[in-house]
Amino acid sequence: MSTTNTHAAPLTVAGTVHFDRAGRGARKVLRLGPAPAEPDPGRVPRVARLMALAIRFDQLLRDGVVADQAELARLGHVTRARVSQIMSLLHLAPDLQEAVLFLAKVETGRAPLLLRDLLPVAATPDWKAQRALWRTLNVPATAY
């Protein structure tokens, strides 16, 4: 007569898991691996995103991906005037463009620099004069 062991040895599984949401307001789901790192607090200022967009638009035009600014406006579902506003940021001196791109993240409230503040600076053809106008804007120190 054979005896069957009905008590199995305990099974241990080792690994890293975390709970995540499958979507906005969705149930929690168990995921394999470590939890993703928390994003840095704050948000990138809108004017910095517009500066990056202007650079991207310029590259699309130079590469021939789009024919002109009117096509960019149609593809982006915005007016040609709005595309012109965004593209005018390319008239800023290179060091000012860099300063705009690396503005500190906004923790709470309004961003310290708005597009309407920058447009008169960008409309000034002399880079030395642009830098003087920039200093009057009292922009906080950059994040880099």
- Quick check: is 112 in a domain? yes
Residues 35-64: tens digit of each pLDDT? 777 777 889 999 999 999 999 999 999 999
- Name the least confident of 32-36, 82-86, 105-109, 128-132: 32-36
Query: What's the whole-number average pLDDT of the chain?
Result: 88
What the block records as the tokens of 14 is 């080792």
Nearest by Cα to 89 from 47, 60, 42, 126: 47
- Quick check: is 90 in a domain? yes
- Quick check: is 21 in a domain? no
Instruction: Give, for 67, the enclosing helix (H) or strand (E).
Output: none
What the block records as the tokens of 37 is 């790192």
At residue 15, the pLDDT reads 79
- Quick check: is 7 in a domain? no
| 48-63: burial string, b at 16+ Cβ within 10 Å, e else | bebbebbeebeeebee
Structure pTM?
0.73
Number of domains in the chain: 1
Which residue range(s) make up the domain with 70? 46-136
- Quick check: is 31 in a domain? no
Rounded CA separation 123/121 (Å):
5
